[in-house]
Amino acid sequence: MEGNKLLAALCYFSVFFAPFLFPIIVYFVTKHERVKEHAKKSLLSHLIPIAIVMIAFGLFFIFTIVGVDGWIGLPFIGIVVGGIVHVIVIVWNVIKGIQVIQEAGGIYE
């Protein structure tokens, strides 16, 4: 069914309009296992850049509390790395969305 294929592709394209909300809703609403699989993969890919930035800030606060000097730039490095990873994730999601649209329709029926 074309609707399931489009829904699976929209999970990846949702990185532009509702990165967390749309895949979660699709995951819990749809009954099609292939679409659920794509919703889960796209949600995880949307969480990667945020996790990197949060880890960098967490390490910064831990190093600050422990008293390790020289880690003042860690949050900024985390933001830069998170930004680069975010661009990579956006490109990956667009590629995966296009691949889902181009897949044979039989597995979505």
Domain that holds residue 83: 2-104
What's the confidence (pLDDT) of residue 70? Answer: 65
Q: Cα–Cα distances in Å, from 51 out to 9, 75, 95, 96, 101?
A: 23, 13, 22, 21, 28
User: Does residue 109 belong to any structural domain of this protein?
Assistant: no
For residues 14 and 26, give the distance between their C-alpha atoms in angstroms, rounded to a whole number.
11
Q: What percent of the chain has pLDDT over 90?
A: 39
Question: Dihedral sign, CA of 89, 91, 94, 95?
Answer: negative
Per the model's pLDDT, the better-predicted residue between 82 and 42 turns out to be 42
86 lies in some domain: yes
Residue 85 lies in a domain: yes
Indicate the number of domains in the chain. Answer: 1
pLDDT of residue 1: 54
In a domain, 17, yes or no: yes
Residue 14 lies in a domain: yes
